[in-house]
Amino acid sequence: EKGGYDHYMLKEIHEQPQSLRQAIAGRIDDYEDRVDLDLSLSDSFLRDVEEVQLVACGTSYHACLFGKQLIESLADVRATVEYGSEYAVGSGRTPDRTLVIGVSQSGETADTLRGLRAARRSGIRTLGVTNTVGSTVARECDDAVYIQAGPEIGVAATKTFGSQVVTLALLAVAVADARGELDPDRARDLLDDLQRLPGAVQGVLDDEETIRDVAEHYADGDSFFFVGRQFGSPVALEGALKLKEISYDHAEGFPAGELKHGPLALVTENTPVLALLTEGARPDETANNVREVQARGAPVIAFSSATRGEEDVAEQFSIPDLGLLEPLVANVYLQLFAYHLANSKGRPIDKPRNLAKSVTVE
């Protein structure tokens, strides 16, 4: 059932070229550079939307942070991201011109449902983005879009993260189009990149041994830092969550610019720093932060655009040219890093202590 893999998590990481293809299947009209998500929300509602609020938890929250940036930059509409457990309907918003998007792989996360229900009570229109047909999120929202990733068994969410981001990218194009804000060149670039994403991810999977060796080499680190900017920042958070969840090692992710505002105090030669230096992650500025940790002796594992060469980093991985989606490709390296590091320590991987696949309590 694990398809020859030792763990579901590894199987699911390897399924990503296919799951990413499924996320866009039948949804892109290449001829017109448009997207069809079969939404039942009316075009006139989408045209007049003034604010998009994304609500989620854990890995899905990180996908929302990525999605927020895509929605804001493509559709020119304000977008916010809130944890399901923290979502509160504030004053001064225009409920009839707000769209709440609840993102949940399982569709059963109590905190996310709590946020969605609070929105609905205020008369706000809700859209669920989920992997699970017939789930509570799908049933309770006014509309639902499925990420079509196939079942995910490992407690650590992997393939569903990429599919959530891809689905939010398609939504960003659809909302931009409905609002009359769609820039055809930018839409074309993004849709092209989405179509090339599965191939780029396959390239990372083909390089698994290299990242496995790196993960095993640094397995004794005291603490692991993950940094990136812009589209790299949610991926940094996600890389850290994955590592802490399955390896039980301390890991922190943050926007690279924040290092000097506190976390730098923790950096020693035993703090491996995984840095995203790709397109979409403002690599030049992040390279300055990389130098700050190097000055404290920290080994840097860099994930860089193919055109870049970092100075004096301990390890370097090259990410193929994929525009804003490059951090998403680097994320697959981070998944493999977490997996192999945890596996080298004999951790249970698919069922980490204290965690459940679907969190149905608040």
Residue found by looking up tokens 């020693």 in the block: 268
| Shortest reach from residue 63's CB to ligand M6R, in Å | 8
- The distance of closest approach from Cβ of residue 131 to ligand M6R in the complex, given in angstroms and rounded to an integer, is 8
* C-alpha span between 24 and 100 (Å, rounded): 22
Residue nearest to ligand M6R (CB): 58
Whole-number Å distance between alpha carbons of 243 and 76: 34
Nearest to 13 by CA among 351, 332, 341: 332
Gap between the Cα atoms of 67 and 247, Å rounded: 27
Give catalytic status of residue 2 as yes or no.
Answer: no
Residue 304 CB, shortest distance to ligand M6R, in Å, is 25
- Per-residue CA distances from 148 to 23, 25, 114, 145, 167 (Å): 6, 9, 24, 9, 9
Site string for ligand M6R, 211-250 (x = CB under 6 A): ------------------------------x---x-----
| One character per residue 150-179, x = contact with ligand M6R (rule: CB under 6 A) | -----xxx----------------------
Q: Residue 313: which of 296, 301, 305 has the closest Cα?
A: 301
Stretch that binds ligand M6R, among 13-21, 38-46, 101-109, 316-324 (CB under 6 A): 101-109
Q: Which is nearer to ligand M6R, 19 or 286 (CB)?
A: 19
C-alpha to C-alpha distance for 87 and 55, rounded to whole angstroms: 7
The residue (of 157 and 175) whose beta carbon lies closer to ligand M6R is 157
- DSSP assignment of 135-169, as one string? -HHHHHSSEEEE-------SSS--HHHHHHHHHHH
The verdict on 60 binding ligand M6R (CB under 6 A) reads yes
Site string for ligand M6R, 117-156 (x = CB under 6 A): --------------------------------------xx
Q: Nearest-CA neighbor of 171 among 194, 152, 138, 199? A: 194
Candidates 19-27, 103-111, 294-302, 334-342: pick the segment binding ligand M6R (CB under 6 A): 103-111
Region binding ligand M6R by CB under 6 A among candidate stretches 52-60, 178-186, 294-302, 342-350: 52-60
* Residue 351 Cβ vs ligand M6R, minimum distance, rounded to whole Å: 11
- CA pair distance 3, 75, nearest whole angstrom: 41
Residue 335 structure tokens: 């998944």
Instruction: Name the site residues for ligand M6R (rule: CB under 6 A).
Output: 57-60, 104-106, 109, 112, 155-157, 241, 245, 358-359
Residues serving a catalytic function are 357
